[in-house]
């Protein structure tokens, strides 16, 4: 581990600088006193012509940098943008010094957050063309050219959906149970082997939440743009439980103008024909069946107890029942896997011709079951970026294009998760969730409500508890707050 001392004449940028350093060196330390391995000094100088940044890296590495930003004086920017640019230049200075000191360039430059596409839409909304924004991504935000191109493609394909959805509300329903917990997973998911006794109380609480929210939506004349049932693994419910949930949704929520109805079934071993017939009968238009890998040894190792034969059989049932949109996920970078494994999985997904294919890059998380320090040497990190480049070319050759993306902390090789689609089958909820331009009500376990203010153009968040027992115990309190906020937002 390396230690850093950070200084900047612009107050309030300590955390900003630390985040940028950690993007380059995830295990960086920032001691309050004592000797350190590296020291970074930055000075930001505003003047009538714009901004100038001067920086110096000293210690085990040496570098100096000076750069100007005159473009911020463009009249399309305002005062808020000027203040934001100061923070961006601080990150730009830190990254430039570290790269000049011998560290590798980051694929996504100074965009360290989950949603890099937000900066794209922010600049487009100011009036810059797609070509101008792409240039800024490379010069101001320091993205490598292929990521700037990818972000431009994704952004331009998303923008028509902003107008199509408008400020209509969407709903996410979280079912926080799984047959087993995958070793790489850090999400809210509770294995049935230890938590089956919580399912019925959870479903009763969820029914109450659906009833109360549905009543408010009816009272205010609101309609839904998209509905997404995720988790966990929603298809872990029995056919009877699933039927009751889908019927309640039909009776209580305004689905008459729904653009998309997704169930993230995920695990093939939780699906059968009876459940799929139920979903189709209740109008589910998009379903996820996710193998993650078609390597049987890896499936066993990561804690997924389904077989490749189960995946193939489930996909055949989905096709026989004529679900309009099939999504399939794979993970790149799982321990022990190489390009050959990734190629094999991608080729099998391409052979199925699902409407959506999502490529996830492994992101080692501390909350996962795995101790990633023990399997780190088995992760082919140095090969992930080049393979993703090849995969994108193969997807393009098969008529798939990227339509949404996001990033996770500690993602292998600094890469992204990216959804690809055949023409006309974009996952609308995925776009809404990532770009945060309309309200999403989060119901169920771990459901995150995102309240969009169209005037201020910002989002506030209120979470439901991840633990199903806590959710059930607090349901009336949680719903009362949500109803109050919903009525205020609508009125």
pLDDT tens digits in sequence order for the chain, 491 residues long: 899 999 999 999 999 999 999 999 999 999 999 999 999 999 999 988 899 999 999 999 999 999 999 999 999 998 889 999 999 999 999 999 999 999 999 999 999 999 999 999 999 999 999 999 999 999 999 999 999 999 999 999 999 999 999 889 999 999 999 988 888 887 778 998 899 999 999 999 999 999 999 999 999 999 999 999 999 999 999 999 999 999 999 999 999 999 999 999 889 999 999 999 999 999 999 999 999 999 999 999 988 888 999 999 999 999 999 999 999 999 999 999 999 999 999 999 999 999 999 999 999 887 777 888 888 899 999 999 999 999 999 999 999 999 999 999 889 999 999 999 999 999 999 999 999 999 999 999 999 999 999 888 889 999 999 999 999 999 999 999 999 999 887 66
Please check whether residue 213 is in contact with residue 486, taking contact to mean a CB–CB distance below 8 angstroms: yes
Q: CA 140 to CA 210: how far, in whole Å?
A: 45
Specify the pLDDT at position 93.
98
Residue 491 confidence (pLDDT): 65
The per-residue pLDDT for 305 is 80
Contact 282, 252 (CB under 8 A): no
Cβ pair 334, 305 in contact under 8 A:
no
The closest alpha carbon to 394, from 336, 332, 315, belongs to: 332
Q: What is the pLDDT of residue 368?
A: 78
Distance, CA of 400 to chain centre: 20
> What does residue 288 show for φ and ψ, rounded to 5 degrees?
-105, 130
Pairing of strands 417-421, 356-361: antiparallel
Residue 80 is predicted with a pLDDT of 85
What's the pLDDT tens digit per position in 292-315? 999 999 999 988 888 999 999 999
What is the C-alpha separation between 188 and 74, in angstroms, rounded?
Answer: 45
pLDDT at 87: 96
Alpha-carbon torsion, ordered 351, 355, 357, 358, to 10 deg: -170
pLDDT of residue 6: 97
Cα 184 to the center of its chain, rounded Å: 16
Cis peptide before 168 (omega within 30 of 0): no
Which distant-in-sequence residues (6+ apart) come within 8 Å of 411 by Cβ? Answer: 361, 362, 363, 417
């Amino acid at each position: 581990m390396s230690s850093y001392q950070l200084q900047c004449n612009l107050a309030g940028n300590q955390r900003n600088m630390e985040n940028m350093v950690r993007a380059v060196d995830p295990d960086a330390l920032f001691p309050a006193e004592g000797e350190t391995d590296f020291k970074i000094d930055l000075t930001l100088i505003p003047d009538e012509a714009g901004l100038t940044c001067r920086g110096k890296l000293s210690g085990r590495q040496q570098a100096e940098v000076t750069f100007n930003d005159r473009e911020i004086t463009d009249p399309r920017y305002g005062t808020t943008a000027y203040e934001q640019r100061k923070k961006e230049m601080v990150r730009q200075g830190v990254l430039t010094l570290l790269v000049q000191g011998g560290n590798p360039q980051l694929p996504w430059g100074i965009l360290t957050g989950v949603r890099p596409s937000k900066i794209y839409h922010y600049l487009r909304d100011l009036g810059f063309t797609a070509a101008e924004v792409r240039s800024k991504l490379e010069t101001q935000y320091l993205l490598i050219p292929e990521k700037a191109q990818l972000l431009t493609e994704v952004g331009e394909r998303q923008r028509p959906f902003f107008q199509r959805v408008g400020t209509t509300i969407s709903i996410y329903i979280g079912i926080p149970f799984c047959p087993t917990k995958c070793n790489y997973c850090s999400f809210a998911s509770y294995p049935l082997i230890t938590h089956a006794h919580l399912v019925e109380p959870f479903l009763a609480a969820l029914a109450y939440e659906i009833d109360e929210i549905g009543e408010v939506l009816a009272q205010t004349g609101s309609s839904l743009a998209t509905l997404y049932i995720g988790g966990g693994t929603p298809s872990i419910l029995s056919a009877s439980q699933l039927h009751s949930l889908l019927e309640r949704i039909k009776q209580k929520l305004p689905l008459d103008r729904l653009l998309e109805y997704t169930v993230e079934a995920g695990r093939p071993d939780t699906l059968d024909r009876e459940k799929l017939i139920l979903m189709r009968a209740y109008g589910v238009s998009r379903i996820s069946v996710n193998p993650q890998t078609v390597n049987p040894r890896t499936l066993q190792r990561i804690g997924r107890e389904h077989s490749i034969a189960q995946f193939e059989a489930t996909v055949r049932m989905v096709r026989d029942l004529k679900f309009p949109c099939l999504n399939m996920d794979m993970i790149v970078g799982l321990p022990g896997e190489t390009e050959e494994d990734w190629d094999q999985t991608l080729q099998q997904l391409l052979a199925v011709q699902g409407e959506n294919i999502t490529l996830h890059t492994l992101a080692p998380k501390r909350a996962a079951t795995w101790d990633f320090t023990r399997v780190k040497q088995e992760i082919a990190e140095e090969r992930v970026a080049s393979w993703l480049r090849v995969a994108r070319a193969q997807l393009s050759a098969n008529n798939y294009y990227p339509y949404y993306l996001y990033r996770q902390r500690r993602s292998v090789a600094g890469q992204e998760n990216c959804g690809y689609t055949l023409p006309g089958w974009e996952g609308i909820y995925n776009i809404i969730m990532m770009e945060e331009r309309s309200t999403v009500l989060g119901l169920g376990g771990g459901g995150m409500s995102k309240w969009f203010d169209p005037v201020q153009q910002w989002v506030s968040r209120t979470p439901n508890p991840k633990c199903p027992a806590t959710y059930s115990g607090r349901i009336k309190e949680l719903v009362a707050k949500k109803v109050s906020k919903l009525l205020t937002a609508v009125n």
